Amino acid sequence: MKKCIITVYYLIDNFYKIYQEWERNRLIPSSNQRNRDGKLSLAELLTIAIYFYV
């Protein structure tokens, strides 16, 4: 089961990296952007949510 969650995280993280680039190109540039990261990445949050429902 441990390898399963690592695989799921790896797939989500790779998808999110591609999605971030796509989203960055689609949005209008703004000078009011935050410079700090959250405590958990979106990939980590999605992995937890998916693991909860599996």
pLDDT string in tens for the chain (54-residue length): 678 888 988 999 899 899 888 888 887 676 676 666 668 888 888 888 888 887
Tokens for 42, please give them: 């979106």
Residue 31 in domain: no
pTM: 0.60
């700090």: which residue's tokens?
36
How far apart, in whole angstroms, are the C-alpha atoms of residue 42 and residue 46? Answer: 6
Residue 33 in domain: no
Number of domains composing the chain:
1
Residue 34 in domain: no
Residue 46 belongs to domain spanning: 1-24+41-54
Query: 9 with 45: CB under 8 angstroms?
Result: no
Residue 6 in domain: yes
Residue 50 in domain: yes
